[in-house]
Chain A
Amino acid sequence: MLSVSGLCVFYGRAQVLFDLNAEVPRGRVVALMGRNGAGKSTTMKAIMGLLPVAAGRVAFEGREITGLDPYRIARLGIGYVPEDRRVFPDMTVDENLEVGRRPLPEGAGLDAPAWDREAIYTLFPNLRELRARGAGQTSGGEQQMLALARTLMGNPRLLLLDEPSEGLAPVIVQQMARAIQRLKRQGLTVLLSEQNLRFAHAVADEAVVIEKGRVRFAGSIQELEADETLKRAYLAV
């Protein structure tokens, strides 16, 4: 569904991604793994069009999207949840959802349900109680839920989830994992970046491990789980 090939990205003169390749098949959950600074968030942002791509291409459902404006990429059906959540703090939870709302593109909706507020509040019941509260006045976990919910309102077919478990209490991490599993059962394709192997193991089918902007491993999550040297070299802290 998403195909990244030969991706190179620079911050100024410093190269951060080197010839990065990754595939996200339809209906699968792929974990992009690696330590801090490995280039996970950069990859996400580059796919979303938030960073300029120096070389390589990104294709979504066979269509090249490299160099498109972020809003066009979003409208094609890619939803992005940033690592720092970036909810609109001075707007209510409900208004945040409104910003994310997009009508379902024609002919789509076969592999994902159409989201509306009701469906969102069923998936995240505690957001319903907070709907009139300013997003800036909610907890970190609630903001993470809101950021995901807001993106779902755009009815994406592919979800880019940047570090969904980062900085959250264990209870919330579990809720997050359950939410992702449910989305996957509903047929949503997900690329998530993650440092935590346990979380990745709970939700992902496949893993791509990167270090210093280069791919070191691509395969099933079980393979990664079994390979101690790989884990020690690229994931252990």
Chain B
Amino acid sequence: MSLVVVQFLTGLASASSLFLVACGLSIIFGVTRIVNFAHGSLYMLGIYVAYSTAERLMPLLGGAGFWLALPAAALLVGLIGAAMEVTVLRRLYRSHELFQLLATFGVVLIVDDIALAIWGPADLLGPRAPGFDGSIAILGSKIPEYDLVLIVLGPLVLGLLWLLFRRTRWGTLVRAATQDREMAGALGVDQKKLFTAVVFLGAFLAGLGGAMQLPREAANLGMDLNIIAEAFVVTVVGGMGSIGGAFLAALLVAELNAFGILVFPEISIVLLFLVMAVVLVLRPQGLLGKAEQAQHATHGEAEPTLAPGGRAMTAAGLLLVAALAALPTLAGGYLLGVASEILILALFAASLQFIMGVGGMISFGHAAYLGLGAYAAAILTRELGAPMEGALLAAPLAGGLGALAFGWFCVRLSGVYLAMLTLAFAQIAWSVAFQWTEVTGGDNGILGVWPSHWADSAARFYWLTLALVAAAVALLRRAVFAPFGYALRAGRDSPRRAQAVGIAVRRQQWLGFTLAGVFAGLAGGLYAFLKGSVFPDVMAIPMSVDGLVMVLLGGVQTLAGPLVGAAVYDGLKAELVTRTEFWRIIVGCVIVLLCVAFPRGLVGNLKALWQSRRGVEG
């Protein structure tokens, strides 16, 4: 009994910080319609800044220094958030949600490296909270006093926010802008100021959430992605834009975590995401969220139409394959390894581009299918002794089956909700790989996954990769211009009208999602044999984002894009990692710049330039 009470109170205490982060995310999304991927980074900055501030203030002021450091850290993080709004977010309000998510992920990378440079890689354990450093007995079990502070803080902030939004003019204006920002502007509301203020508030809450964790856990560089995945779950389960929903969902999630560890320590993360999936299927708008109303779309640029390349394109493609096939005569083993990796990632990116560009579904968890393919291949060869050929057949099957299962849920949603759900599923897959040690080896991965004898030289494996990737990309292109692809694009551009002409849009998207999973799985199988090993990293968030960046680099609406994107990005990253410890900040800046300045990607922009030079009507 007492264990239940302890776990329950611990859950309540954890819920507070989670609520602060999630409701900040939700408030920012409500007004700006941007899902701030960097919100976890603001949380992480909160605890780091609180650590440094407390370190300086406590020798001067004693206990008061600690209690001053927490709001001071939150305030500073709020200002950092406001600066981020002015420099990055403001330029993205009219962009596609993909660029918004990606650009803010770029900020995640930048903040990661800045934190690494300032605070170093070691965990930093903060001081205990003066005045609340003991524990008290409740029903015979000891509860840290500080937990009680946190338990009170959550409802307190909820109440204050309620007052702010219901009882002040500023809150009324924010709610108006949440419902129809263009109309609010036409009534004289200065959106720029309002947006900056709202992002300040959201960042302040995230910073406070982080700072309040100072006495509870050590500050570390992995906090940003951990909390953001949970915050996504909380906002989606609670309902985007609903503060009360965020509170409810934070309680649910935190208690689920607290008790899940007691009951199924192995799969507590899975439990969390399963709850999310169930809620989303039964109530797509979240527990307290309102069904999405039709937004007054801003008149953006129409997307250029995809057109088949014609004979010249086919010839150029064949020529490219021929030229690539000749590479082993020029390059040695290391370079061929890099080239194989680029080809594999190009296939991964092409499969992602297929569902994004053609299907209109943004996946932030496409690495799940790459990983499923890789693990299927590795487990088959290592555990069951299957030959490489069999494993390479099983890999796309595994990727496809995974996509079939996850996709069934995902196609029920659209836009950012879909993106967040795909991310959640990828986290499930990742956590299974991470925690199911008996089968996957957990963090140690599966080693010794080598190709069959006939393909075990670098050149031969490269040729095998080239052949499979070229065939797969050709098939994908074929699918784009087949009736199947047309139907997908119709569903992307106008779901209702597509349905009216007899296309089962949801089923079409489901099949498209599965097809992309098949090809990602094939890429995963090849990846496992190329590396000779598989680790959970292959399906972690950064891998999914890498795929997105490659697609984006090349241009979402450009079929050749993913190939170019993979070559440029993977080559660049391989080069950067060898040169500097701080490669993330460079990649992050590139991503942000790309999203802000070149939303059509490298190939897309070149194509646009070429067309405008020739005066071709697009």
B-contact 0/1 string along A47-70, CB 8 Å cutoff: 010110000000000000000011
A115 at interface by CB-CB < 8 Å: no
Contact status A154-B187, CB under 8 Å: yes
Task: Answer yes or no: B301 CB below 8 A from chain A CBs.
Answer: yes
B189 touching A99, Cβ below 8 Å: yes
Taken together as a complex, chains A and B put the C-alpha atoms of A12 and B190 apart, in Å, by 26
Cα distance A43–B332 in the bound complex, in angstroms? 66
For A151, give the chain B residue with the smallest CB separation.
Answer: B187
Contacting residue for B185 out of A71, A150, A151, CB 8 A: A71
**Nearest CB in chain A: distance from B295 CB, A:** 12
CA distance A99 to B180 in the complex (A): 12
Q: Is the CB of B187 within 8 A of A150?
A: yes
Q: Which of A66-80 contact B (CB under 8 A)?
A: 69-71, 74-75, 80
Partner of A70, one of B169, B172, B186: B186
In whole angstroms, what is the CA distance A88 to B269 when docked? 39
For A70, what are the chain B residues with a Cβ–Cβ distance below 8 Å? 182, 185-186
A contact residues around B180 at 8 Å (CB):
86, 88
Interface 1/0s, chain B 97-135, versus A by CB < 8 A? 000000000000000000000000000000000000000
- Shortest CB-to-CB span from B452 to chain A, Å, is 55
Residue from A11, A71, A99 in contact with B176 in the complex, judged by beta carbons closer than 8 Å: A99
Tell me whether A74 and B302 are in contact (CB under 8 A). no
Beyond A12-B299, A91-B175, is A50–B190 a contact (Cβ under 8 Å)?
Answer: no
CB under 8 Å from chain B, chain A span 95-122: 95-96, 98-100, 102
**Are B188 and A11 in contact, CB atoms less than 8 angstroms apart?**
no
Q: B191 is contacted by which of A71, A75, A90, A91 (Cβ under 8 Å)?
A: A71
Q: Which of A150-208 contact B (CB under 8 A)?
A: 150-151, 154
| Nearest-CB residue, chain B, relative to A147 | B183
Q: Chain B 289-307 against A: per-residue CB contact (8 Å), 1 yes, 0 no?
A: 0100100100101100000
Would you list which residues of chain B between 175 and 204 have a CB under 8 Å from chain A?
175-176, 179-180, 182-191
**Total number of residue pairs linking A and B with CB closer than 8 Å:** 67
Q: Assess whether B173 is interfacial by the CB under 8 Å rule.
A: yes
Q: How far is the CA of A151 from the CA of B169 in the complex (A)?
A: 17
| Closest Cβ neighbor of B302 among chain A residues | A12
**How far does the alpha carbon of A88 sit from the alpha carbon of B179 in the complex, in Å?**
6
Q: Are A82 and B179 in contact (CB under 8 A)?
A: no
CA distance A12 to B297 in the complex (A): 14
Task: List the B side residues contacting A11 at CB < 8 Å.
Answer: 299
Residues of A within 8 A of B169 (CB): 98
Q: 1/0 per position for B10-33, CB-CB distance to A under 8 A?
A: 000000000000000000000000
How far, in angstroms, from A13 to B616 measured CA to CA in the complex?
13
A219 within 8 A of B: no
Inter-chain contact A75/B188, CB cutoff 8 Å: yes
Across the interface, do B183 and A82 meet the contact criterion of CB distance under 8 Å? yes
A89 interfacial contact with B, CB 8 Å? yes
B187 x A74 contact (CB < 8 A): yes
B299 with A99: CB separation less than 8 A: no
Contact partner, B175, options A69, A74, A88, A150, Cβ 8 Å: A88
Kindly list chain B residues whose C-beta atoms are within 8 Å of the C-beta of A74: 185-188
Partner of B172, one of A13, A50, A71, A98: A98
When the two chains form their complex, are residues A91 and B176 in contact, meaning their CB atoms are under 8 A apart? yes
Within 8 Å CB of B185, what residues of A? 69-71, 74
Q: How far is the CA of A55 from the CA of B259 in the complex (A)?
A: 65
Closest Cβ–Cβ distance, residue A56 to chain B (whole Å)? 18
Residues of A within 8 A of B173 (CB): 99
Residues on B facing A (Cβ under 8 Å): 169, 172-173, 175-176, 179-180, 182-191, 290, 293, 296, 299, 301-302, 617
Residues of A near any B CB (own CB < 8 A)? 11-13, 48, 50-51, 69-71, 74-75, 80, 82, 86, 88-91, 95-96, 98-100, 102, 150-151, 154
6 closest A-B pairs (Cβ-Cβ)? A74-B188, A99-B176, A70-B185, A86-B183, A88-B179, A70-B186
